[in-house]
Amino acid sequence: MIKRALFSVTDKTGIVDLAHRLQDLGSEIVSTGGTASTLRQAEVTVTEVSALTGFPEILDGRVKTLHPKVFGGLLALPDKPEHAEAMATHDIAPFDLVAVNLYPFEKVVEGKTLEDDELVEFIDIGGVALLRAAAKNYKNVVVLCDPNDYGSVLEEIQSPLGVSDQLRHKLAFKAFAHTAHYDAVIAAHLKSRWGVQEKFAEETTVGLRKVRNLRYGENPHQQAAVYRESGTPPWGVVSANILQGKEISFNNYLDCEAAWQVVLSFTDPVCAIIKHNNPCGVATASSPAEAYRWALMCDPVSAYGGIIGFNRAVDKETAEELKKLFIECVIAPSFHPEALEILKAKKNIRLLEQPTLLTAPYELDVRRISGGYLLQDVDRPPVLDLNVVTKRPLTDTEKSSLDFAWRVAKHVKSNAIVLARGHQTVGIGAGQMSRIDSLRIATIKMKQAKLDVGESLVMASDGFFPFKDTVEEAAKIGVTAIVQPGGSVRDQESVQAADEHNIAMACTGVRHFRH
C-alpha cells in the first residue's frame, strides 16, 4: 500500500489523475509548491513540503526539498531498529512513492540561446537527489520519473501483492539511467559552450535519447533501435525528415550515413551511390541528375538496391532518372514537389530530407569493442597538399581528378583503391586484405562498366604501397597519375616504378584508413 507519496514535477502530464487515484486509495500527498497549486486546483488534498519541513522554499526555489524530513523519509529502512528510532526521535514519516521529473535543460539548450546565468537555473539539483534517493531505497519506495509509468504502477498498487519487485527494479534502473543521461547532457553542453580543452577526459559520458525501435538490426535475428545524441541541435541522418517509404532499417541508417558523409565532402553538385557501407559510384557534375548518371556508370550492377545521396535538392530531372532503378533510399537536402510526385509511384523508396548540410560538429568518433570503447578524432580531411615525388609533374587535369579521387577514397573501406577520370569514379576496390587485390577488383569494375577513360585515368590509395606491384599493375590499365600517403620503407621502389612507366605520383603525408 502507498500510504504517503511525494510529488515534484515540471511536466504535469498525468499527475492529477495519479494524485486522485492515490488519494482514493487512502494515500497522503506531499508536494512542492508549483505542483501543489496544480493539484489543489484539481481538488486534491495536498500537504506542501514547506509545511512538512517547517522551512520555506528559499533562494528562488533552489532549495525546497533538501531537508532531513524529506530525505529521511526516502532513505530510511523501516525494518532497521536504529532507523526506526531515529525517525521516531525526529518525527520523520516514510514515503512509499515519489514522482519527480526534472527541469527541462535538454529542451532549453536545443531551443534557446541563453546567457550562463539564465542557463544554470535549468540545472535541477533537488529533483535529481530525490530520484536517486528513492531509487537507492527501491525496496521501500516506488520511484517514478516518467509519466508513462504511472498507469502500470497504479495497476499493481491495487493488486493483493502490491507493486512487484520486477516493476520496482525496472523503475529504479530507469531513474538512475534518467539522472545519468541528464548529467551527461549538461556536461556535454557545458564543455562545448565553454570550450573546455580536454578531448580525452579521464571520465566521459554520452547522452542518448531513443528515436524509435527498428524492425531488426543488421540481421533479422538481432533487435535494434536508433538513438540521437541529446542536448544538440537536430542534424545529420538521425534527424532527417522521412518523407515517404518503408520503415528505415538499421542497415539503411548505416548506408545513408555513408552516403551523407561522402556528399558533404564536396561543394559541387555530387551524387554518391552506396552499397554495404561503401561507395560503388561517385561523381560531381553541373547538376544532380548528371552527377547521378555519371555515378551510376561506375558500377550499375552494384547500384541495384543501393542508397543514393545528393548535396543538392532532388529535382524533376533527377527523379525521372532515379525511378528507372530499384533503390532503397535517397537522402538529400530537399526534394522539389515535382520530384516527390514522380517518386510517389515507387512507394517503398525511403526519402530522407536533411536540410542541414553540416560535417560532423562533434570532435570524437566512438566505437565499441568488447569490454570498452575506442575514442578518436573524427577523420576530417586536411587541405590536400600534393607532394610530387616522380620525375613527371602532374597536369592540371590530373591534379583536379586526384583531389576528387582522394576525397572518395577516404570513405571506402580499407584497403581502398579508387580509379577516376575527371570527377567520376570508374572503378572502386574496397575492404581487401591486400592493396593489389583492391586494385584488381577496381579494374574488374572498370572493365565491366566499359567506360571510355580517356588519357587521364588516375588512382587514389588510402594507404601507402608496401611494394611496387600496385604501381606496376596500375600501369597495365593506363593509370597516368597516382595519389597515396607515402611513408613506406619501400617508397623509392614505387617511385622508381612510376618513373619507368611515365606515371606522375604525389604523396599527401596523410592516410585515410577506414576499418
Pairing mode, if any, of strands 417-421 and 424-429? Answer: antiparallel
How far is Cα 170 from Cα 151, in angstroms, rounded to an integer?
14
Residues involved in catalysis: 136, 276
| Whole-prediction pTM | 0.87
| pLDDT top residue among 381 and 347 | 347
Pairing mode, if any, of strands 28-31 and 142-144? Answer: unpaired
Give me the pLDDT at residue 453, please.
65
Give me the pLDDT at residue 112, please.
72
454, pLDDT greater than 90:
no
362, pLDDT greater than 80:
no
415 upstream amide cis, omega within 30 of 0? yes
Per-residue pLDDT tens over the stretch 57-94: 788 778 877 888 888 989 999 888 888 888 888 888 89
Percent of the chain at pLDDT > 90 equals 67
Cell of 290: 548528371
Domains in the chain (CATH in brackets) are 4-194 (3.40.50.1380), 239-353 (3.40.140.20), 387-507 (3.40.140.20)
Task: Give the type of residue at 294.
Answer: W
* Average pLDDT of span 462-473: 94
Cα separation values, 186 from 109, 127, 458, 486, Å? 9, 15, 48, 43
Cell of 182: 541528464
Backbone angles phi, psi at 126, to 5 degrees: -65, -40
230, pLDDT greater than 90:
no
Mean residue pLDDT of the chain comes to 91
361, pLDDT greater than 70:
no
Backbone angles phi, psi at 185, to 5 degrees: -65, -45
